[in-house]
Structure 1
Amino acid sequence: MILLQVNQLTKYFAAELILSNIKLEIQTQDRVALVGRNGAGKSTLLKIIAGQSSYDSGEIIRPKGVSIGYLAQNTGLESEQTIWNEMLSVFNELRKMETELRKLEGQMSDPQILSNHSKYERILNEYDLLQVKFKDQGGYQYEADIRSVLHGLNFGSFDYDTRISTLSGGQKTRLALGKLLLSRPDILILDEPTNHLDIETLSWLEQYLQGYSGAVLIVSHDRYFLDKVVNQVFELSRRKMTKFAGNYSSYLQQKAENYERDMKLYEKQQDEIAKLEDFVQRNLARASTTKRAQSRRKQLQRMDRMDRPGGDEKSASFMFDIDRQSGNDVLRADALAVGYESEKVSEDISFQISRGESIALVGPNGVGKSTLLKTIVQKLPALSGDIHSGSNVTIGYYDQEQAELTSNKKVLNELWDEYPLKPEKEIRTVLGNFLFSGDDVLKTVSSLSGGEKARLALAKLMMEKANFLILDEPTNHLDLDSKEVLENALIDYPGTILFVSHDRYFINRIATKVIELSRSGAAQYLGDYDYYLEKKLEQEELKALTALPASSDKQAAASTASDKSSYQQDKEAKKLERQKKRRIEEIEASIEVLETEISNYEELLCDPEIFQDHKKVGELNEQLEKAKHEVELLMEEWTELAE
């Protein structure tokens, strides 16, 4: 079913054309990514589709009854309500139905109505219809749905009576996302939904959106997320839209193939044009060949000439180099504890970094990843333990907040003041490589956008020529194209890299090793992010399969477990999956039985004879509440298993 059509849509800001003849169609179950450079108009288009912004020409067609839910970038939930009550407000209509059901139950127990057969039948029919509607709209599971979404968005350990007004900006943003997910619109529009989400929460959101019953339209710079979720990509470039089938990686491949094909066709036509023009020029004046030359000239006039393929818009262009090589041992941490003043965030951290390694530091939000980096670069003191730097190690540090880029200097002077002996032309060339051209270099640093500050910080980092780069969320604020340029520069970098990133696509391309940080230490994994995930899954499966041994046998048991063949691991993993599937089927069958019982109890409570027996009514009500509670518990278990 077609949920939305955008036809020939055009948008101006003052006299500047932003969007031109945009076409877009969304059907049920579509998972659509909208991609393009920063400033291409992606967020503007989302606002227009959501009805929050106007357009100048074209049309948007949406069938009657199709609902749209829109989450703008970095939108926080502002409310004086508690977390639970705010989430509960999504289901106000269901709660009204529930209140009406209780009211009808009360009426059916009224002796005056019981004695009036026609009135009783009318109320009973009304009750039956409302109960079916209540059940179909999720009336018996909405509280379990709330708990599931809050748990998935990392609020599982929270007191749900906490007032939203007391929460941080990131927490408010996650709650705004949770409230929108619970409302389940036909078209879910999300502008950068992955901001403020850690990797565990991102994985949950990916699975949730994969199973979402409606359509999803997403703008995101998280390429791993897009690969997992979307089945279509619309590229917004040079004010126009192009559609690609498949996920983000498929889009990149198709785009490259299309460009190569179009360039070959263009070059072939250019060769043909050159030959025809040459023939006309040489033969038009000769009597013996003039007719043939005139024929060629007509052929040229009739030819539908191709435009040269545009290719990519201008990209940043840079590389990282080093002044001198470090020793083989770059950094070693021994029993390190990090935090602020006397408050430890993480402790007993030990690891070693060797020259040429590219190491991703991962772990949940709040575990101290950025704190560890700041401790290594001596912006924070170590609370205990030691950090040893190797010989000839020079550190270049990239701060995710670009905290030091708040000056009132011009962009040109921000860089030139640190390298005053460099000629202005060289400084301008460096800035031009980072897309600061013309009057851009005269902008005040403090007035720059997040993406511009990120590019300026990278320009400064490149000029340092350090042999050990420590990067804290280097892809934040960068558009997709700039991320790819940064990745290529880091892949070619001859030094050593330690970085924190939530961008799993970036980690996969850059990392040769993953260090997982926890509050009680650090574990190392040789490989990229996908390899790290595989190893974590293996560990969890082995843990589930193997009962904890006695302390004296732990070492032997661990050794035995590690020697298990991959066949055995695969066999056990499949066994676990079968057990999980059987349990889901058992839960679904139990819920079906309980819902039948609930329906029977409610019908019995409507029976006039039973209503005369107060003791029987009390027993039935007790059994009814017990059955409802069991359904709720089973729904929670089903949700956890289905994730």
Structure 2
Amino acid sequence: MIRLENIGKQNGRQIVFIEASAALQKGEKVGLVGPNGAGKTTLFRMIIGEEQPDEGQVSVDRGVTIGYFSQDVGDMGGLSAVAEVMEGAGPVSAVAAEMRELEHAMGDPERADEMDRIIERYGELQHRFEELDGYALDGRAREVLDGLGFSQEMMDGDVSKLSGGWKMRVALARILLMRPDVMLLDEPSNHLDLESLIWLEKFLKDYDGALLMTSHDREFMNRIVNKIIEIDAGALTSYSGNYEFYQEQRALADKQLQAQFERQQAMLAKEIAFIERFKARASHAAQVQSRVKKLDKIDRVEPPKRRQTVAFEFQPAPRCGEDVATLKGIHKSYGSRSIYSGLDFQIRRRERWCVMGVNGAGKSTLLKLVAGASEPDEGSVARGPSVKMGYFAQHAMELLDGERTVFQTLEDNFPQAGQAALRALAGCFGFSGDEIEKKCRVLSGGEKARLVMALMLFDPPNLLVLDEPTNHLDITTKQMLIEALSQYEGTMLFVSHDRHFLAALSNRVLELTPDGIHTYGGGYTEYVARTGQEAPGLRG
């Protein structure tokens, strides 16, 4: 359906693709992987014709429809969320839009003399709308929005009033409703809570078109894709299987390449030693020349590129008492909406609580109460006397000084630490080379999250309160964070929609439900086994 043949592409001084080739066949579900800046978005833009390759060609079979979801959703306004979604549904949306115009015209007294023509045209459109199954479209649009977490009120409200994250969901819903032959989805799992993520997973599994997507959620990708295309050093390499299988194959290929490289290096060293030893002897001149020519013709094996990130090791967290935080008789409301009514909850040393609950259940509110960022209307929150807390929330990223560089920010916070220690810390969190000289105002969401995390973990607290710590983080950085937090000996309370993160780090589950709280001994994996569902409130 889509073929990229010997693609060459350069952006400024950066070479993105060199003689790269790949194909997307009918019904394939493909994960596109590669480090940040490798060219994933450029590849999408070339497929839809927004960018052209410098060399080679991108060909799309005649008549193939493509839906592209990107992180740049553009302006939205003037329509309800459901109307905005229907706008993307191909020919039927154009018919619906003209019908709406004619409905307004019918009520306009100044156009009374055109009424016969308007009514006739409206009848034609109505017939066409029925042919295109338009009356079911509104229902289908609402079904998709419901799956992505919208309430009826939000569906019918002005889309311009929604936050950036909810507008992203509207843009995604447009593509899902369109059901094109090919979906190109750039990070569709960003901004989704766990329930919406699981709904989207099922939708994409059932979708019979071809799919090419990027995602920082390895579990999400594992369950959907049956092929991986990797962008690496300008080349495209295809692997059959899911993300986990790709990782295994990649590690095996690297191991084989390393062995091949070492064998060749040993052979070259032997040949060079012979040439050096006998080059001055006339009796060996023919042999020396023969070996020099042989070396010139050898295809040199390049060693595998080192992909592993630097591991981060915690300094030991200061010890605290057994009772870390105690909430008693908590009442909390926002306006007329009651979040908690008489909540009692206790956190003890070395417990790792993950907090589950549907949207609006009060997950972030609970974290704010424990962190002291919000006060209860009634009741008490007590933290142990020797508790030293680190609180990660999305707003923490907004508190960075935009004019300071990454390195200056680390120095400002840890003036006693040496340069080498701070550079090592920056490297662990993905800031290497010149990246530590970037000003905070130009950092991406992921880079800001990594910097805030580095600030919090360098001098570790004994209580970590984390609200969606993996938002914006790529798979490699998430894995580094999971490995680091696995070694952490303090106490944790966290909310996350990343199932790999939940399963790897929790040893307790707190579920917030309309009829109170439920607690589960054992972590997220045990919670799933006991409840039979991956998230509370899932619609079957």
Query: Could you tell which deviates more after superposition, 140-149 or 67-76?
Result: 140-149
Specify the alignment match of 2:350 in structure 1: 356
The Cα shift of 1:283 comes to 5.7
Decide which moves more: 11-20 or 252-261.
11-20
Structure 1 pair 521–538 and aligned structure 2 pair: CA distance change class (3 A):
same
Using the TM superposition, give the Cα deviation of residue 73 of structure 1 relative to its aligned residue in structure 2, in angstroms. 0.9
What is the CA distance between 1:345 and its match in structure 2?
A: 2.8
Residue range with higher mean Cα deviation, 470-479 or 68-77: 68-77
Q: Counterpart of 1:464?
A: 459
- The within-5 A match list for 1:189-338 is 189-282=184-277, 299-312=294-307, 315-338=309-332
Verify the 8 A CA contact 2:142 2:155 in the aligned structure 1: no
Shift of the 380–339 alpha-carbon distance from structure 1 to 2, 3 Å rule, reads farther
Distance 2:381 2:72 in 1: 37
Normalising by structure 2, report the TM-score.
0.84
Aligned to 2:46: 48
What is the deviation of 1:203? 0.9
Q: Which amino acid aligns with 1:484?
A: Q
Query: In the superposition, relative to structure 1, how do residues 232 and 350 fare at CA in structure 2: closer, same or farther (>3 Å)?
Result: farther
Asked if structure 2 preserves the Cα contact closer than 8 Å seen for 1:321 and 1:494, the reply is no
Other-structure match for 1:377: 371
Matching residue within 34, 48, 54 for 1:36: 34
Unaligned runs of 5+ in 1: 99-126, 541-639
1:85-234 equivalences in 2 (<5 Å): 85-90=83-88, 93-94=91-92, 138=133, 141-155=136-150, 157-158=152-153, 160-234=155-229
Q: Which amino acid aligns with 2:340?
A: S
Q: Which amino acid aligns with 1:336?
A: I
- Residue segments in structure 2 that go unaligned for 5+ positions in a row: 97-123
Work out whether residues 429 and 477 of structure 2, in 8 Å CA contact, stay in contact via their aligned partners in 1: no
Residues 264/346 of structure 1: CA separation in 2 closer, same or farther (3 Å cut): farther
Match of 2:532 in 1: 537
SS in 2 for 1:359: strand
Q: CA deviation at 1:219?
A: 1.4
Equivalent in the alignment of 2:13: 15
Percent of matched pairs sharing the same residue: 36
Cα-to-partner distance string for 1:106-138 (whole Å, 9 max, x where unaligned): xxxxxxxxxxxxxxxxxxxxx9xx99x976x65
- The answer to whether 1:524 aligns with 2:514 is no
How far off is 1:158 after superposition?
A: 3.2
- Identify which range, 28-37 or 463-472, moves more after superposition: 463-472
CA contact (8 A) 1:361 1:514 kept: yes
For the Cα contact (< 8 Å) 1:76–1:169, is it kept in 2? Answer: no
- Over 3 Å counting, the alpha-carbon distance change for 1:495 and 1:22 in structure 2 is same
1:78 matched to which residue of 2?
Answer: 76
Paired letter, 2:63: G
SS in 2 for 1:350: strand
User: Structure 1 residues 220, 16: closer, same or farther in 2, change over 3 A?
Assistant: same
Q: Is the 8 A contact 1:376 1:387 kept in 2?
A: yes
Letter of the aligned partner of 2:330 in structure 1?
A: L
Q: Distance in 2 between matches of 1:12 and 1:335?
A: 61
Deviations 1:417-458 (A, max 9, x none): 233233444434433443434554443323322222122112
> Structure 1 CA distance, aligned partners of 2:68 and 2:176?
10
Task: Tell me the amino acid that sits aligned with residue 369 of structure 1.
Answer: K
The residue identity in structure 2 corresponding to 1:488 is E
Deviations 1:394-429 (A, max 9, x none): 111222232321453333332222332334444344
**Contact 2:22 / 2:237 at 8 angstroms: preserved in 1?**
no
- C-alpha deviation, 1:329, in angstroms: 3.1
1:544-581 CA-to-partner distances (Å, cap 9, x unmatched) read xxxxxxxxxxxxxxxxxxxxxxxxxxxxxxxxxxxxxx
CA distance in 1, matches of 2:215, 2:43: 14
The 1-side partners of 2:340 and 2:385 are apart by 27
How far has the Cα of 1:181 moved from its partner? 1.1
Q: Relative to 1, partners in 2 of residues 1:285 and 1:52: Cα closer, same or farther, differing over 3 Å?
A: closer
Structure 1 residue 297: Cα displacement: 5.1
Q: What is the CA deviation profile of residues 300-343 of structure 1, one whole-angstrom value per residue up to 9, with x for unaligned ones?
A: 44432211111317x35422223422233323333333455886
Amino acid in structure 2 at the alignment position of 1:365: N
- Equivalences, count: 512
Amino acid aligned to 2:61: P
Q: Which amino acid aligns with 1:381?
A: E
Structure with greater Cα Rg? 1
Cα RMSD after superposing both structures? 3.4
Aligned partners of 1:88 and 1:38: how far apart in 2? Answer: 33
Amino acid of the structure 2 residue aligned with 1:34: L
SS in 2 for 1:158: helix
1:145/1:407 CA distance change after superposition, 3 Å: closer
Distance 1:424 1:305, change over 3 A: closer
The amino acid across from 1:378 in the alignment is: G
| Superposition deviation, residue 504 in structure 1 | 1.3
CA distance in structure 2 between the aligned counterparts of 1:369 and 1:291, rounded to whole angstroms? 79
CA distance 1:134–1:273, shift in 2 (3 Å): farther
Matched residue of 1:269: which SS?
A: helix
CA shift, 1:270, in A, is 1.8
In the aligned structure 1, how far is the partner of 2:21 from the partner of 2:266?
34
The structure 1 residue matched to 2:384, chosen from 384, 390, 394, is 390
Instruction: Report the CA distance shift for 1:431/1:91 in structure 2 as closer, same or farther (over 3 A).
Output: closer
How far apart in 2 are the matches of 1:265 and 1:438? 30
Q: Which amino acid aligns with 1:17?
A: I
Deviation per CA, 1:199-239: give whole Å up to 9, x if none: 11111111111111211111111111111111111122223
Rounded to whole Å, the distance in 2 between the matches of 1:472 and 1:305 is: 49
Describe the superposition over 1:370-393 as per-residue Cα deviations: whole angstroms up to 9, x where unpaired. Answer: 222121111111223333333532
Which secondary structure does the structure 2 equivalent of 1:375 belong to? helix
Which amino acid in the other structure matches residue 255 of structure 2?
E
Does structure 2 retain, via aligned residues, the 8 Å contact 1:97–1:134? no
Residue 361 of structure 1 aligns with an amino acid whose one-letter code is: V
Q: Deviations over 1:220-269 (max 9, x none)?
A: 11111111111111122223222221111111111111111111121122
Taking the aligned partners of 1:470 and 1:216, their CA distance within structure 2 comes to 37
Q: Answer yes or no: is the 8 Å Cα contact 1:339–1:368 preserved in 2.
A: no
Conserved? CA contact 1:5–1:23, under 8 Å: yes
Larger helix fraction of residues = 1
Give secondary structure in 2 for the equivalent of 1:200: helix
* Aligned-partner Cα distance in 2 for 1:311–1:422: 28
| CA distance 1:438–1:370, shift in 2 (3 Å) | same
Question: Residues 341 and 263 of structure 1: is their aligned pair in 2 closer, same or farther, counting only changes over 3 Å?
Answer: same
Q: Distance in 2 between matches of 1:30 and 1:193?
A: 17
Q: Secondary structure at the match of 2:399?
A: coil
1:366 to 1:406, Cα distance in 2 relative to 1, 3 A: farther
